[in-house]
Structure 1
Amino acid sequence: MTTRDGLLSAAAEAFDRDGYVRATIDDVCDLAGVTKGALYGHFSSKKALAVAVLDRQAQEWTRTRERLQRVHRSPLQVLVDLGHAVNEDRAVAQRLLFQAPICDDDVVDRQVAQWTSTVQELLRAAEYRGELRDGVDVEACADAVVAALVGVQLMSLAVEDPEGVARQVARLWRTWLPTLARPEVCASLRVEPPRRRR
């Protein structure tokens, strides 16, 4: 593991544990076992460190999407499972994105735009495969799905019940999929979170 990776892991732990405002550079350095000079050699500020944590999480979600696309033929099933994956890990990204000063910057807009683009791509792939109902407005649906998933994420910050969050995500898919997918496709999709391999 590189020093930068260690700093990102330590920052994620500190931000998750204490929140962005209360976590300090000293906390991150202590967790990473490095000096402030080493930290500032990689990141110019605590905010830059938080943005890098968010970027790393976005890369992880991209890898999750790629893995799901190797497992499932249906882009809609990939979308469902990706929605569960984003919420199941209850990642520090959820805490960071919606806390000032991060949420006061363009960071949230960039993250939400990436999510929306991913949903649009999966819906377009589903449209190409003939999985969507006729007349589905892909852009409008992508915006609405992302807004609903963000709402579940915000709710999860206040709820210490991961299974409850999973139920909410499944309820979201039960509501949305019949409006998006052809009936025969909808019937073939699993809306519950995938079972984890032991």
Structure 2
Amino acid sequence: MAKQDRAIRTRQSILEAAAVVFDERGYDAATITEILARAEVTKGALYFHFASKEELALAVIDAQMSTVPDPSDLAGTCKMQQLVDMGMIFACRMVEDPLLRGSVRLTLEHGSSNLNRASPFNGWTEVHTRVLVEGKERGEVLPHVVPDDTAELIVGAYAGINTMSQAVTNRADLERRAIVLYEHLMPSVAVPSVLARLDMSPGRGPRALALAEAERSAGRAEDGQLIAAG
């Protein structure tokens, strides 16, 4: 078990180091040598987990979806608040999570490589579609809203403000841009009674993240009590 845990930690260290290098230099300019130096691992250790730079980059890209809580971890809020919270938490995590930043850089950059960058777009669209469908079933969404079309619009628009924020302020104003996006978008999505209760104010990302972490902690505690009772 200790050996397995060590292997998991080594893989994560390599992923995080690679994300930092990819974020700083982009895929084409990044080298395995730089990643090895950042991760402080041997070439053998890296190639044990990842067969090539491309495979490592794809793993960084695929890690993006795990860096933001699933909407189910925000159980105490309505579905349209969950929709907003995903974007607000994303903006918050972009400041503090190098793995997320590296994943976003690889996803949005247009280099010479043939990396498949579609998985985060497909993943985020699927999650947003699910939340919109559930919101519509609960009466939170306006009748004219088509969930999959609206999900694609939100994900595409967010990618746009993310790119612009990176180019203009090195992501310093991503939260503000996300707030403006939702303030313009949500009146066309949420019914008025739900819209009036939505929190899209500055600092919502950290607050929502704290709520999600509290939900997960409560869930783990409950699971532990069930195991003990069993």
TM-score of Structure 1 vs Structure 2, range by shorter chain: 0.7 to 0.9
Q: Paired residue for 2:221?
A: none
2:84 counterpart letter in structure 1: V
Determine which of 4, 8, 17 is the counterpart of 2:11. Answer: 4
1:196 counterpart SS class: helix
Which residue of 2 is the match for residue 34 of structure 1?
Answer: 41
Is the partner of 1:136 in helix, strand or coil? coil
Where does residue 98 of structure 1 map in the other structure? 108
**TM-score relative to the length of structure 1:** 0.88
Deviation, 1:156, is 2.1
1:47 maps to which residue? 54
Q: Distance in 2 between the 1:19 and 1:83 partners?
A: 24
List aligned pairs for 1:34-183, cutoff 5 A. Answer: 34-61=41-68, 63-67=69-73, 69-70=74-75, 72-90=76-94, 91-101=101-111, 104-105=114-115, 107-160=116-169, 162-183=171-192
Aligned partner letter, 1:21? D
Higher radius of gyration, 1 or 2: 2
| Contact residue 7 and residue 39 of structure 1 kept, 8 A | yes
- CA displacement at 1:164 relative to structure 2: 2.2
Is 1:50–1:96's contact at 8 Å kept on the other side of the alignment? yes
Relative to structure 2, which stretch is displaced further, 114-123 or 133-142? 133-142
Deviates more, 1:108-117 or 1:188-197: 188-197
**CA 1:115–1:27: 2 relative to 1, 3 Å:** same
Higher relative contact order (CA 8 A, sep 6+): 2
Distance in 2, matches of 1:17 and 1:123, equals: 35
Kindly provide the amino acid, as one letter, of the partner of residue 85 in structure 2: D
Do the aligned residues in 2 keep the contact of 1:97 with 1:103 (CA within 8 Å)? no
- Aligned-pair distance for 1:157? 2.1
Q: TM-score, normalised by structure 2?
A: 0.76
Cα contact 1:126–1:132 (8 A) shared by 2: yes
**Offset, 1:23:** 1.9
Instruction: Work out which of the residue numbers 171, 188, 194 in structure 2 matches 1:185.
Output: 194
Matched pairs, number: 194
Deviation at 1:39, TM superposition (A): 0.9
Structure 2: 5+ residue stretches without partners = 1-5, 95-100, 211-230
Q: Name the CA distance, whole Å, in 2 between partners of 1:159 and 1:37.
A: 40
How far apart, CA to CA, are the structure 2 residues paired with 1:3 and 1:153? 30
Matched with 2:219 is: none
In angstroms, what is the RMSD of aligned CA positions? Answer: 2.1
Aligned equivalent of 1:17? 24
